[in-house]
Each structure stands twice: as C-alpha cells, then as structure tokens.
Amino acid sequence: MGFFLEVLIGGLMTGMLYSLVALGFVLIFKASGVFNFAQGAMVLFAALAMARFSEWIPGWLGIANPVVANILAFIIAAFIMFLVAWLIERLVLRHLVNQEGATLLMATLGIAYFIDGLGQTVFGSDIYKIDVGMPKEPVMVLQDVFAGGLLINKEDFIAALVAALLVAALALFFQKTSTGRALRAVADDHQAAQSIGIPLNRIWVIVWTVAGIVALVAGIIWGSKMGVQFSLVTVALRALPVVILGGLTSVPGAIIGGLIIGVGEKMSEVYLGPLVGGGIEIWFAYMLALVFLLFRPQGLFGEKIIDRV
C-alpha cells in the first residue's frame, strides 16, 4: 500500500508539472485559436536565458548573492520572452489573421525550429545549471503507518506547489481582470471582439507573453530538476496528451488532464510495464488520451464544436 501511494503521489506531482506546460498550449489556443507547437521550444529558450543570465550577472555586476542574481536573471528572461512574443506577433501572427488552423500550426512549427536553433546559438548547447535552492534530498513520512515509510520528493513537492499557485493565479487573471475577459472575448470570436474595440494585436502580445512566462517558470522547474539542455523541448511532448485529454480550451482541463496523465503513466510503467517489457509510459499516456477521446472528442473540459452544414 505504501508503495502504491508513493507511485500515486509521484504521478500527481509530475502531472502538476505537465499541467504547467499544458497551460502554455491552452492559453495561446484560447486567445488566438493557434495550437502553439513552439511551446516546448519556448520552455527551452526561457530556461536557457534564465540559466545563462544567472551565471553571467554575478560576473558582470559583481553580485555575490545568488538570490539577487536569480531575481535579475528572471526579470531579464521574462523581458526576453516579452520580446519573443512581440516579434512573433509582428512577424508571423499579424500576417496570418483569419488563415486556416493548419497554416497557423505550421507557422508555429517553423517558430519552434527557429527558437530551438536561436537559443542554442545565442546561449550555447551545453548543459547549464539553474540553482534556485530547491531541496534535492527526499523526506520520509508516515514511518509508523507504512514499513519503510512513505518517500516524498521535496523538490517535486515544491515544484508542484509553485505550479498549482501559478495555475490558480492564471485562472483568476482570466476570470476576474478586464484583460482576462478581453482575452476570453478574443478567443470566442476575433471579429466580434475587434468590433467592440478590443485591440487584437495587443491581446495576442499579452497572451504570448503570459505563455512565455509560464514557459519560463516551467523551464526553471524542469531545468532545476534535470539541467538546462535541449531535452527540455521534449517535456512539451509529454504535455501533448494532457491537452488532448483535458481539452485545448480549458484551464481546469489542463490541470485535471495533467494529473490523470501523470498518475496514468507512472502507474502503467510500474504495474503494467514489467508484464510487457517496460518503457511504456510515453505511449501509454497518448493511448490513455485517445481512449478518453473515443468518449469525449472535445476532451474532458473542451468546448463542443458544432458546425452548421
């Protein structure tokens, strides 16, 4: 029972991190109808900026305090993500208004490759460190209840907590602020939103910036766990089944989807893996999402699209 709970908790915490990456997809899709294939590349780019500036700043400014260096690096990286968002809007999205979804998807595919290459050219392709003071050692709890206790990974726990807080803040931003309402209006209907005076271009810059900052937080958490390197882009691939399952337009869907996928893949690997040779968690996550789609094609919380024929 103790081991089952460890797998469950591990899956939930990993799932929360998947939710964070999935949120980037959902935010952009909600506001612009674009399935942003570049979300993984944005995670890598943001993490590279954070890692490199936190390394360079102490040398440039003579700052010895790592907390100050990390805060400054975070601000610079966030500003860089704003610049990325602005450039994407100016150079790509603006020219593709009212184009087919497939065209926009292909455009983000191009952006993904460009950002991947640019990030490694500007910041390097080695492994870089982000040290934000996350504890690495595990903690054992409930030793009286379970033999050997219940192992909790402190780093994963804090990361899941940060992810949960960010998700909550974004949900509030969407529901309670005027900008959030404008974002939702744009998501519902571009032309109607424009007709009542909502500036489409500005909204897109805002939403891509927010997605960039979400990518930055995800990049910091994953980068702190495994080092900042190219493999971070693959984290986004882990979030794809989450958005398939949760629905592309739903913030709660990204959260619940993330938790289901996180738990599903860990349980499958631990309990089914040994029966079929192991290494099944990646495809199992996609299979789980596809099974859900059989019953709810729009995802768990996605909007049902009804077209008049």
Partner 1 sequence: MKLRKYALAVSLAAMGLSFTLTAPVHAQAKGKQAQEQFFPVLVYRTGAYAPNGTPWANGFVDYIKLVNAKGGINGVTATFEECETGYATDRSVECYERLKNKGGGATAFQSLSTGATFALTEKAPVDKIPLITAGYGRSESANGAVFTWNFPLLGTYWVGADVLIQHLAKKEGGFDKLKGKKIALVYHDSPYGKEPIALLQERAKMHGFDLSLLPVAHPGVEQKATWLQVRQNRPDYVLLWGWGVMNSTALREAQATGYPREKMYGIWWAGAEPDVKDVGEAAKGYNALTLQHGVELNAKVTKDVLALVHGKGQGTGPKDEVGSVLYMRGLISAMLGIEGVKQAQERYGKGKTMTGEQVRWGLENLDLTQQKLDGLGFAGVMRPVSTSCLDHMGSSWVRVHTWNGSKWEFSSDWYQADEKIIRPMVMHASLKYAEEKKITPRTPEQCKQ
Which residue's CB is nearer to partner 1, number 153 or number 250?
153
CB of residue 86 vs partner 1: minimum separation in angstroms?
16
CB of 132: closest distance to partner 1 in angstroms? 14
- Please name every residue paired with 128 in a beta bridge, in sequence order, or none if there are none: 228
Maximum CA extent, the chain: 66
Q: How far apart are CA 1 and CA 79, in angstroms?
A: 47
Q: Yes or no: say if 128 and 228 are a contact pair by the CB < 8 Å rule.
A: yes
The answer to whether 50 and 220 are in contact (CB under 8 A) is yes
Q: How far is CA 147 from the centre of its chain?
A: 36
CB of 205 to partner 1, least distance (A): 20
Nearer to partner 1 by Cβ, of 6 and 89: the residue is: 6
Amino acid at 303: E
The residue to which tokens 């024929």 are assigned: 309
Distance in Å, CB of 19 to partner 1, minimum: 15
Query: Minimum Å distance from CB 177 to partner 1?
Result: 35
| Nearer to partner 1 among residue 19 and residue 249 (C-beta) | 19
Shortest Cβ distance from residue 223 to partner 1 (Å)?
10
Which residues of the shown chain bind partner 1 in the complex (CB under 8 A)? 3, 6-7, 10-11, 14, 117, 120, 125-129, 136-138, 151, 153, 155-156, 222, 225-227, 229-232, 234-235, 238, 265-266, 269-270, 273-274, 277-279, 281-282
Q: What span, in angstroms and rounded, lies between the C-alpha atoms of 180 and 156?
A: 30
Nearer to partner 1, 251 or 285 (CB): 285
Closest CB to partner 1 among residues 75, 226: 226
On whether the CB atoms of residues 238 and 16 are closer than 8 A, the answer is no
Task: For CA atoms 191, 204, 215, 175, give the dihedral sign.
Answer: negative
When the beta carbons of 10 and 212 are compared against partner 1, the nearer one is 10
**CB of residue 268 to partner 1, shortest distance in Å:** 8
CA distance 239 to 302: 16
Strands, E assignment, the chain: 138-141, 150-153
d(C-alpha 105, C-alpha 213), whole Å: 21
For partner 1, give the closer residue by CB, 47 or 193.
Answer: 47
CB of 77 to partner 1, least distance (A): 19
Q: Which is nearer to partner 1, 227 or 252 (CB)?
A: 227
**Beta-bridge partner residues of 141:** 150
Q: Exposure of 241 by Cβ count < 10 A (0-12 exposed, 13-18 middle, 19+ buried)?
A: buried
